[in-house]
Amino acid sequence: MANLLVTGGAGFIGGNFVHYWNAHHPDDAVIVLDALTYAGNRSTIAGAPNAELAVGDIRDQELVERLLRDRDIAAIVHFAAESHVDRSITGPDAFIDTNILGTNSLLKAARSVWLEGDGKPHRFHHISTDEVFGSLGADDPAFSETTPYAPNSPYSASKAASDHLVRAYHHTYGLEVTTSNCSNNYGPYQYPEKLIPLFLLNALSGKPLPIYGDGMNVRDWLHVEDHCRGIEACIERGVPGETYNIGGGAELPNMAVIDTICAEVDRAFQEVDGLAERFPNAPAARGERSECLKTFVTDRAGHDRRYAIDETKARSELGYTANHSFEEGLRTTLRWYLDNEDWWLPLKAKP
């Protein structure tokens, strides 16, 4: 690939991908298309040397076509999406607009330029989620690429619809597409409404740690750098028209994740000088345990009980395996947030 268009590249996973691609493909130009909504931040990609930000909406087909032609784009890596389940429950319209209509607009632009225009080699890689598969029982086998779709939230339903559109553009028009369905991501640059950064930062500020229901909902946790490696493998070695599950190999109940967060915050206050002065409201600053902040709240409407990823196909066909253990990945994530207060502090002030 020579030039990439990365939609949503100023967001969490997209921003990490921009940094990853710059580091591993330094000769490639990366054009980031991002509307800079609440979850998109210029500062996330400020240090990426070969990245250029184009502020705009993926629903603007004319803009996308112009970028594809003018920048000689060979691949679209499509991250742009509304992704927070709680927001989809209170306001589903934005999820329909961005995740379905936005993806369709991108596909139309790609078809116009790549298939009806110059006919150049290309790749449209679509990032999706394991949530499209619905909820698993405790003894059910993990999600595979052939698991039937059964989305249970407006967010997952909108992503399922976008997955079907991507597949249809391949089978109907011949667009060279791949799709990856990932598990729960965590790592640097994650907006602090998500579980891990929310609980990390709440523990530092002495705020409650709100636990849905009984805290035993199970997720597979994927460090964002491993996810970026998986996407790279899909782009470089994935078969057009195929989907690949990308997981982290860390299937854990939420309570275990929260306990690990509390333990790592407490450890950091023992090992890192000056934290008590920087975060005086943290229980750990007073020698107390962060777990005292745990607070059980009413469960999320329609809360899926368990997700799990079977990544056999990605491992056997793409050579993908996760490199980060959950404990090591969470520890480095906490240290990143401790070292980058200037990035997340303004976000905490947003409504």
DSSP letter for each residue of 240-264 = TT-EEEE--S-EEEHHHHHHHHHHH
Question: What is the C-alpha separation between 100 and 5, in angstroms, rounded?
Answer: 19
Catalytic residue (one of 34, 131, 225, 251): 131
* Catalytic annotation present for 214: no
CB 106, CB 58: distance < 8 Å: yes
Among the options 34, 130, 232, 311, which is catalytic? 130
Yes or no: say if 151 and 99 are a contact pair by the CB < 8 Å rule. no
Q: Is residue 57 flagged as an active site residue?
A: no
Measured between alpha carbons, how far is 65 from 71 in angstroms, rounded to an integer? 10
Query: What is the C-alpha separation between 346 and 325, in angstroms, rounded?
Result: 30
Two structure tokens written together for 73: 């784009």
**Dihedral sign, CA of 188, 263, 83, 342?**
negative
Which of 78, 103, 106, 87 is CA-nearest to residue 6?
78
- Choice among 155, 169, 191, 244 that is catalytic: 155
- Catalytic residue status for 131: yes
Buried residues in 120-152 as b, exposed as e (16+ CB within 10 A): eebbbbbbbbbbbbbbbeeeeebbebebeeebb
Sheet holding 177-182, edge to edge: 51-55, 29-34, 3-7, 75-78, 123-129, 177-182, 243-246
Q: Which helix (H) or strand (E) holds 267?
A: helix 254-271
Rounded distance between C-alpha atoms, residue 251 and residue 191, angstroms: 22
Amino acid at 21: W
Catalytically annotated residues: 130-131, 155
